[in-house]
Amino acid sequence: MKKQNRIIKPAKALSGTISIPGDKSVSHRSIMLSGLANTSVTINNFLHAQDCLSTVACMKAMGVNVEIVAGSQQLKVTGNGLFGLQEPTDILDAGNSGTTLRLLSGILAAQPFFSVMTGDASLRKRPMGRVITPLSQMGARIAGRESARYAPLAIMPPNGSLQGIDYIMPVASAQIKSAIMLAALFANSPSRITEPYPSRDHSECMLESFGVPVARSGNTVIVNPVKELNAPTVLDVPGDISSAAFWLVAATIIPGSEITLTGVGINPTRTGILDVLAEMGADIAVKNQRWSGKEPIADITVRSSDLKGVTLDVEIIPRLIDEIPVLAVAALFARGKTVIRGAEELRVKETDRLAAVAAELGKLGAQLEETPDGLVIEGPQKLNFAQCHSHDDHRMAMAAAVAGLASQGVEIIEPDCVAISYPDFYTVLEALRMHSR
């Protein structure tokens, strides 16, 4: 069946108040840990998007009971305890989700059964050696394509139990850190994991919610093995700041706009986008700060404003890694030069996002310089209507939509990939436009 393209027309202005759907990273972790508990957990504001549903399907395939409460964003999860997963009778499919594949590798590496995990064409091209190397040092037995560098992965039971590890990570990655932390729960001695720069700490927060103390010092976390998890009865998932980012940029660059985003997660390991937009001159007010479990949330009001270019260096990249495609759009509307450096990790995301941003925004007439580890963008620039390919990458599709909305419109090829992280994206976009003055 031929897939439909989607045309996004330019917007005069955007306005309205919207609640932001559940955080993808936190949703994955909530179901994984709930599935390892021995009491029922109700998860509120779970992200019912394809990536998280891949994790749900994998956990169900290992005997975890998951009830999706109809008409709500709630899940009720009942696991069989830390040692209660069952051998899956078929291949586990992580779909497009790197978080599912990498974090579950950590859990599966410790199980006394055999499992195989795979994913879609994009995920099977993404590097897995980065998790297999440390897990193997802990005693895991994992085989994979091209000398265990790519999925499908076959995971054999370890000989005896896993050993704790003292691991210095070569890249700042919450997925690698979390895979090791999850394996560490099952090891026979403590594990110490050090990153070059701090990445998102949702696994640390979620483990604490499940009664597992995580010692943190600088860029190092220490996880001790546990006998069981002490699950909360209710878990609240904050709104995803990575989804909010599209509206933060759109309202900033479309004159006359004002949007309020409610319940947005403002965990400091994720708020690089707020810091950078503020430095660029954006008009963003963070109000009503409160807690959603161990995660801070707030309501954010953004009004349009003029922007200026900025330089982003390697330390901040992990705090806004998923927001760079839409930040590149913001940079096109900013006066002066924006330089993004130290972001070579973008080359191994759902697609090579540095190449894709340069190519697709280039089709709209933008001039961007792609460097080995980033982008250089001189603004402001005028964009034209054109077709842009999403590369079947959700964040590329949404970034292209924002670019078109703020200029002469855009026709997105393969637009439906937004279902990976933000199924209602286009509906929300039209609702914000309908409220336009």
- Active-site positions read 322
- What is the 3 state secondary structure string of 233-245? CEEECCECHHHHH
Q: Which of 390, 400, 401 is nearest to 3 (CA)?
A: 390
Query: Please, which residue, 181 or 405, has the CB nearer to ligand S3P?
Result: 181
Q: How far is the CB of 70 from ligand S3P (least distance, A)?
A: 27
Amino acid symbol at 270: R
Closer residue to ligand S3P in complex, CB, 15/178:
178
C-beta of 6 vs 24, nearer to ligand S3P:
24
Rg (CA), the chain: 21
Nearest-CB residue to ligand S3P? 25
Q: What are phi and psi of 216, to 5 degrees?
A: -125, 135
Relative to beta strand 150-156, strand 141-144 is antiparallel
Least Cα distance to 194 among 216, 221, 215 occurs for: 221
Q: Is 214 exposed, middle or buried (0-12, 13-18, 19+ CB in 10 A)?
A: middle
Q: Is 437 exposed, middle or buried (0-12, 13-18, 19+ CB in 10 A)?
A: exposed
What contacts 223, CB < 8 A, 6 or more positions away?
Answer: 181, 184, 185, 190, 191, 193, 207, 212, 214
Task: Provide the minimum distance between the beta carbon of 287 and ligand S3P in the complex, in angstroms, as a whole number.
Answer: 26
- 301 close to 287: Cβ distance less than 8 angstroms: yes
10 Å CB burial of residue 306 (0-12, 13-18, 19+) is middle
Q: Is the Cβ of residue 24 or residue 389 nearer to ligand S3P in the bound state?
A: 24
What's the min distance (Å) between Cβ of 237 and ligand S3P? 12
Phi and psi angles of residue 9, each rounded to the nearest 5 degrees, phi first: -85, 155
Q: Which is nearer to ligand S3P, 50 or 99 (CB)?
A: 99
Return d(Cα 7, Cα 286) in angstroms, integer: 32
Q: Could you tell me the smallest distance in angstroms from the CB atom of residue 343 to ligand S3P?
A: 11
Output 7 or 168, the one with its CB closest to ligand S3P: 168
Smallest gap from Cβ 177 to ligand S3P, in A, equals: 7
CB of 174 to ligand S3P, least distance (A): 3
Closer residue to ligand S3P (CB): 45 or 304: 45
| Cα–Cα nearest to 250, from 380, 390, 403, 412 | 403
Instruction: Kindly state the smallest distance separating residue 170's Cβ from ligand S3P, in Å.
Output: 12
SS3 104: helix
Where does this chain bind ligand S3P (CB under 6 A)? Answer: 25, 28, 99, 173-175, 178, 199-200, 321-322, 345
For residues 413 and 426, give the distance between their C-alpha atoms in angstroms, rounded to a whole number: 14
